[in-house]
Amino acid sequence: MSMTCDEFRDLLHDHHAGELVVEIKEKFEVHRTSCKHCGPLHETYTHTVRITAKLPKGGPLPPAAEARLREVLKDYLDK
Ligand SMILES: [Zn+2]
């Protein structure tokens, strides 16, 4: 059974934390490479995580990164 976009979104954080088991990770990858919504979402998420990883712990998101993430998530949720 393939993953839905909702499931994919729920797994984004765990994926980046390296917490997905292999079977789920495979489904995640299949969905990421085949879904026109989730591919770009994943890219933006990855980019944002990289930016925020460089910030002091507990610091706020850079306004530009937060705005971009919100924009992408909004497009995604409104589809
Ligand atoms: Zn999707």
Q: How far is CA 68 from the centre of its chain?
A: 13
Question: Which 8-state DSSP code applies to residue 55?
Answer: S
* Under 8 Å between Cβ of 8 and 32: yes
Q: What is the domain extent for residue 46?
A: 5-77
Ligand 1 centroid to 56 CA: how many Å? 32
Per-residue pLDDT tens over the stretch 60-78: 777 888 888 888 888 766 6
Helices (H), 17-57: 22-34, 38-53
| Residues comprising the chain, all counted | 79
Ligand 1 centroid to 14 CA: how many Å? 16
Ligand 1 centroid to 5 CA: how many Å? 4
Structurally, how many domains does the chain consist of?
1
Ligand 1 centroid to 54 CA: how many Å? 28
pTM confidence score: 0.66
Per-residue pLDDT tens over the stretch 12-61: 989 988 899 999 999 999 999 999 999 999 999 988 888 877 777 666 77
Ligand 1 centroid to 9 CA: how many Å? 8
